[in-house]
């Protein structure tokens, strides 16, 4: 029997599970006020979560088809660091605000993946959060947590 433990199955399974939990909670949120004819408030977020779920399942299937590797060959440190980064980002997201936590999370993700050049690292850490902020807040009108004491 093939070994199924590898970075693809671990990360694909983890992100798929997170997407499922967030999707479930988005459908069971009872404190949302809707007017007749309004689009559901979590529609854009749910579509993004469905995309994450589909990509996670594709990564998981790729990992299963690829098969496992010998336990000594697995790079566990980046896998667990990425999971810890996602968990820490999720916990601190609402307390510290989107524009403070997400740039740090993107920079941490880049460092875990081995990107060390300062210009691309800073560029990605600024461009990704600003682009997603503009997309979600300005165009999709979704509220994101703000930095405490700072309103945009």
pLDDT digits (tens, 9 = 90+) for 85-129: 988 998 888 888 888 899 999 999 889 888 888 898 899 899 988
Q: Where are the domains of the chain?
A: 1-74, 75-152
The residue among 148 and 13 whose pLDDT is bigger is 13
Contacts (Cβ under 8 Å, ≥6 apart) of 3: 67, 68, 69, 70
pTM: 0.57
Residue 135 banded pLDDT, cuts 50, 70, 90: confident
For range 141-147, the mean pLDDT: 78
Question: Is the confidence at residue 1, as pLDDT, over 60?
Answer: no
pLDDT in the model for residue 108:
92
Looking at every residue in the chain, the average pLDDT score rounds to: 80
If we measure between CA atoms, which residue out of 102, 58, 56, 13 comes closest to residue 110?
102
CB-based contacts of 142-147 (< 8 A; 24+ apart in sequence): 142/41, 142/44, 142/45, 144/97, 144/98, 145/93, 145/94, 145/95, 145/96, 145/97, 145/98, 146/97, 146/98, 146/99, 147/96, 147/97, 147/99, 147/100
The pLDDT tens digits for 38-49 are 666 667 778 888
Copy the structure tokens of residue 12: 């694909």
Q: Is the dihedral of CA 29, 32, 36, 41 positive or negative?
A: negative
């Amino acid at each position: 029997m093939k070994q199924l433990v590898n970075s693809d199955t671990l990360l694909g399974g983890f992100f798929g599970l997170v997407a499922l939990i967030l999707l479930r909670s988005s459908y069971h949120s009872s404190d949302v006020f809707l007017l007749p004819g309004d689009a559901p408030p979590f529609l854009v977020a749910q579509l993004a979560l469905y995309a994450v779920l589909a990509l996670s399942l594709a990564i998981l299937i790729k990992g299963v088809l690829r098969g496992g590797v010998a336990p000594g060959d697995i790079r566990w440190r980046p896998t667990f660091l990425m999971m810890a980064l996602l968990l820490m980002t999720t916990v601190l997201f609402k307390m510290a605000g989107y524009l403070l936590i997400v740039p740090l999370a993107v920079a941490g993700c880049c460092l875990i993946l081995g990107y060390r050049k300062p210009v691309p690292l800073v560029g990605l850490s600024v461009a990704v959060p600003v682009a997603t902020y503009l997309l979600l807040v300005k165009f999709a009108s979704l509220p994101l947590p703000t930095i405490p004491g700072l309103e945009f």
